[in-house]
């Protein structure tokens, strides 16, 4: 582990630009299928680094029919030759992390020596879950639809400068003192506001001291590791969590996550420089979904929406919650392209549309009778939106498992070409099924991947 912590002071600016990078971002409300895409693309990268979120972000990857659900660990871990990094922008639940690592070991996945955790990542502790669960269920509170895993309160403590980082978790004297002080304060708050049962500080310390010992072998300064990888000419794929419209700054506030889910978060959440980012790959479903509360302009609450849910198996990988479903929303997709600087678009779950006689696409909004292409800043303004739709003829034939673009039905090609034209981003990949091999690669995209990987 310590071999990664080399001195960078002798490296020149040109040295630090040798390695190529790409950022994977969700272009909708999350659940776009980033897990499969990161897994597929990780073959072309030396390192995969996760830069935001917590263990609410379940990525499902299916390899030869075998399902892997990853919550904290980057999808690159499924490639033995790829290093995986959990960056400083992630909030880490040590118990959830160890459970996931244990499951991967049992499945024969190589994690030891391949997986690294930032010493600067903040830690989720039981009182974070207590506070979030109580707040989400408190009378009169606006429900955000969180998973109540303590992620939001952990980020609150981080920004309030009262958090516990992974480096602190390993310092047992500091850990004991932190838990004693925090539990005293959180118990008082939770009892006063929500009448919650108090937590036991001694029991918490014993449990997390044991966990710290098992987490320790994975911990290092991952910013140094990543910058050294770039200096050595290695390629890095930055793996986002959630989606653009859940970003704390740019999403449908307050119905958002607590971290930077956009491409800019890759810089903040890992410690690489902004000029180290070479390209941004946006992931979008061929339709739209959303979990939890909040605006959803193109939502379809009728039979067609239910058909999307059933065919797309639209239930949370971690929580099992049914997702809300609807149609492609071009104003939001263009907004995501602008915020993230999306160069390439990956369209997932195309095969879910196979049985539809027609496919609506929301091309613009009307608010108070006036047509607009802009996404409102206030969540309440979304209630005023009337979607303007263009309907495309369905192809009414199976596209599942197709791996060549020219094998797609004519109507499917027209639908994809329209999305490409309207968003201004090139389509690089199309996913036609859940398995790793159910993927169409565009020639230009393949050429760029080979360049990023340093291949001829």
Q: What's the token pair of residue 43?
A: 């073959």
pLDDT digit string (tens) for 142-164?
655 566 789 999 999 999 999 99
Q: Which of 12, 8, 19, 16 shows the shortest CA–CA distance to 46? A: 19
Instruction: With a cut of 90, say whether residue 442 has pLDDT above it.
Output: yes
DSSP letter string over 381-432?
A: GGGGEEEEEEEEE---S--TT---GGGS-HHHHHHHHHHHHHH-SEEEEEE-
- Where residue 3 falls among pLDDT bands split at 50, 70, 90? very low
pLDDT digit string (tens) for 93-137?
999 999 999 999 998 999 999 999 999 999 999 999 988 887 776
pLDDT digit string (tens) for 25-66?
999 999 999 988 998 899 889 999 999 999 975 667 777 777
103-112, Cβ contacts within 8 angstroms, sequence gap of 24 or more: 104/68, 104/73, 104/77, 107/66, 107/68, 109/68, 109/77, 109/78, 110/77, 110/80, 111/73, 111/77, 112/217
- Where residue 171 falls among pLDDT bands split at 50, 70, 90? very high
CB 27 within 8 A of CB 345: yes
Distance between CA atoms of 287 and 327, rounded to whole angstroms? 5
- Where residue 8 falls among pLDDT bands split at 50, 70, 90? very low
**Cα three-residue angle 323-148-322, rounded to 5 degrees:** 15
Q: Which residues contact 83 (CB under 8 A, 6 or more apart)?
A: 46, 47, 48, 76, 114, 115, 116, 225, 229
pLDDT digit string (tens) for 400-429?
999 999 999 999 999 999 999 999 999 999
DSSP 163: -
The stretch 202-216 carries a mean pLDDT of 98
Between strands 219-220 and 115-118, the pairing is parallel
* Window from 73-77, 144-148, 192-196, 265-269 with minimum mean pLDDT: 144-148
Q: Which of 266, 230, 260, 263 shows the shortest CA–CA distance to 248? A: 260
Q: What global pTM score does this model have? A: 0.90
- The confidence score (pLDDT) of residue 5 equals 33
Instruction: With a cut of 90, say whether residue 441 has pLDDT above it.
Output: yes
| Distance between first and last Cα of the chain | 32
CB 447 within 8 A of CB 357: no
- The confidence score (pLDDT) of residue 358 equals 96
Distance between CA atoms of 451 and 445, rounded to whole angstroms? 10
Instruction: With a cut of 80, say whether residue 11 has pLDDT above it.
Output: no
Between strands 91-92 and 288-290, the pairing is unpaired
Active-site annotation, residues = 31, 59
Starting at the edge strand that comes first in sequence, how are the strands of the sheet with 219-220 ordered? 219-220, 115-118, 83-86, 47-50, 236-239, 21-26, 279-285, 344-348, 426-431, 439-441
- The confidence score (pLDDT) of residue 404 equals 97
Instruction: With a cut of 90, say whether residue 382 has pLDDT above it.
Output: no
- The confidence score (pLDDT) of residue 221 equals 98
Instruction: With a cut of 90, say whether residue 364 has pLDDT above it.
Output: yes
Share of the chain above pLDDT 90, in %: 71
Instruction: With a cut of 90, say whether residue 18 has pLDDT above it.
Output: no
Q: What's the token pair of residue 328?
A: 């492609």
Instruction: With a cut of 60, say whether residue 16 has pLDDT above it.
Output: no
Reduced to 3 states (helix: H, G, I; strand: E, B; else coil), residue 24 is strand
33, 418, 302, 62 alpha-carbon torsion, rounded to 10°? -20
- Where residue 320 falls among pLDDT bands split at 50, 70, 90? confident
Between strands 66-70 and 21-26, the pairing is unpaired
Q: How far is CA 261 from CA 168, 187, 267, 360, in A?
A: 25, 31, 11, 27
Instruction: With a cut of 50, say whether residue 2 has pLDDT above it.
Output: no
pLDDT digit string (tens) for 243-261?
999 999 999 999 999 999 9
Q: What's the token pair of residue 335?
A: 């907004």
Displacement of CA 439 from its chain's centroid (Å):
20
Share of the chain above pLDDT 70, in %: 91
Q: What is the 3-state secondary structure (H, E, C) of 77-92?
A: HHCCCCEEEECCCEEE
How many Cβ atoms from other residues are within 10 Å of residue 417's Cβ?
11
């Amino acid at each position: 582990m310590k071999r990664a912590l080399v001195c960078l002071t002798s490296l020149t600016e040109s040295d630090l630009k040798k390695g190529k990078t790409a950022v994977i971002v969700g272009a909708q409300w999350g659940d776009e299928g980033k897990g499969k895409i990161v897994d597929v693309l990780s073959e072309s990268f030396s390192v995969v680094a996760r830069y935001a979120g917590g263990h609410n972000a379940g990525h499902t990857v299916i390899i030869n029919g075998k399902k892997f659900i990853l919550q904290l660990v980057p999808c690159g871990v499924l490639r033995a030759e790829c290093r995986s990094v959990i960056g400083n922008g992630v909030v880490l639940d040590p118990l959830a992390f160890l459970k996931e690592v244990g499951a991967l070991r049992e499945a024969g996945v190589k994690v030891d020596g391949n997986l690294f955790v930032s010493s600067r990542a903040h830690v989720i502790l039981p009182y974070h879950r207590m506070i979030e669960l109580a707040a989400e269920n408190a009378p009169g509170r606006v429900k955000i639809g969180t998973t109540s895993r303590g992620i939001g309160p952990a980020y609150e403590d981080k920004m309030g400068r009262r958090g516990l980082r992974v480096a602190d978790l390993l310092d047992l004297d500091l850990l004991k003192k932190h838990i004693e002080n925090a539990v005293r304060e959180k118990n008082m708050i939770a009892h006063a506001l929500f009448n919650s049962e108090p937590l036991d500080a001694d029991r918490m310390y014993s449990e997390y001291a044991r966990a710290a010992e098992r987490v320790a072998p994975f911990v290092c300064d991952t910013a140094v590791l990543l910058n050294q990888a770039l200096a050595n000419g290695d390629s890095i794929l930055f793996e986002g969590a959630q989606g653009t419209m859940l970003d704390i700054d740019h999403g449908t506030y307050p119905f958002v996550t607590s971290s930077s889910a956009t491409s800019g978060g890759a810089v903040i959440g890992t410690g690489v420089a902004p000029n180290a980012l070479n390209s941004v790959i946006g992931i979008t479903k061929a339709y739209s979904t959303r979990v939890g509360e909040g605006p959803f302009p193109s939502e379809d609450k009728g039979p067609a929406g239910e058909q999307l849910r059933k065919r797309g198996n639209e239930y949370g990988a971690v929580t099992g919650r049914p997702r809300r479903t609807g149609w492609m929303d071009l104003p939001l997709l263009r907004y995501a392209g602008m915020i993230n600087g999306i160069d390439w678009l990956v369209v997932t779950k195309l095969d879910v549309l196979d049985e539809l006689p027609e496919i609506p696409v929301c091309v613009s909004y009307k608010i108070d009778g006036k047509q607009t292409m802009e996404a409102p800043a206030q969540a309440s303004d979304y209630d005023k939106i009337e979607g303007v739709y263009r309907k495309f003829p369905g192809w009414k034939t199976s596209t599942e498992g197709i791996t060549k673009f020219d094998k797609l039905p004519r109507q499917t090609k027209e639908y994809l070409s329209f999305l490409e034209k309207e968003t201004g981003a090139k389509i690089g990949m199309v996913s036609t099924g859940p398995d790793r091999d159910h993927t169409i690669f565009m020639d230009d995209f393949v050429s760029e991947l080979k360049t990023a990987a340093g291949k001829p």
